[in-house]
Amino acid sequence: METLKRRGLMYVLSSPSGAGKTTITRALLKNNENLTPSVSATTRPRRAGEVHNQDYMFVSQDEFRDMIDNGQMLEHAKVFNNYYGTPRAPVEKALASGQDVIFDIDWQGTQQLFELAAEDLVRVFILPPSNQALEKRLRDRSRDTKETEEQIRSRMAKAADEMSHYTEYDYVIINTDIEEAITQAQLILDAERLKRRRVLGLSDFVRGLMSGL
């Protein structure tokens, strides 16, 4: 048994804004010591209170482009003139050590990860129970984020396009109740950790069992 080790997995949660993805992600990180968040690199300016290599890896435009050119990014995108992406090295180091990495990215980033590392990837899409519930959550959240009516309507319009990609994911959770959604996300993580292909040294272990019979 001591020879058996598990390769980590990449656990992706995607959803339209307001569907509960961030709340579920935080709960999973709190409840799983062997789960670490993916820290994205970005070229946007650092905001007050943000910590380098904790909230984001803050780099220049030239540094980011060099990382792309040198194959150091697992996925990346340009949003409002700033680059965002996932550095390859820290993720691969975590996976090799048996640690799981959770990603809070959209369907485009998920597609890029699937092209590079399908065997390590677990894709979960979070859906709201209804359009009305989604709008209510966005409006409730806007009291803290101070988003305008125009921004709320923009997020609602974008949600339709995002939800159309649910078929590209392995699992779908309909977030009717947040505690139940967290439980479902944990069950998926637990089951995926037990998959045979993630256990390293299993063939030698079984051969050893068979040779002793």
Beta bridge partners of 82: 79
Q: In this predicted model, what pLDDT tens digit does every residue of 150-206 receive, in sequence order?
A: 888 888 888 889 999 999 999 999 999 999 999 999 999 999 999 999 999 999 999
CATH numeric code, 5-195: 3.40.50.300
Which residues have a Cβ under 8 Å from the Cβ of 46 and sit 6 or more positions away?
52, 56, 58
CA R_g for the chain? 19
Question: Exposure of 23 by Cβ count < 10 A (0-12 exposed, 13-18 middle, 19+ buried)?
Answer: middle
pTM: 0.88
Could you state, in order of their start, the residue ranges of all structural domains in the chain? 5-195
Distance CA 31, CA 25 (A): 10
Residues 57-74: tens digit of each pLDDT: 999 999 999 999 999 999
Amino acid identity for residue 182 in this structure? I
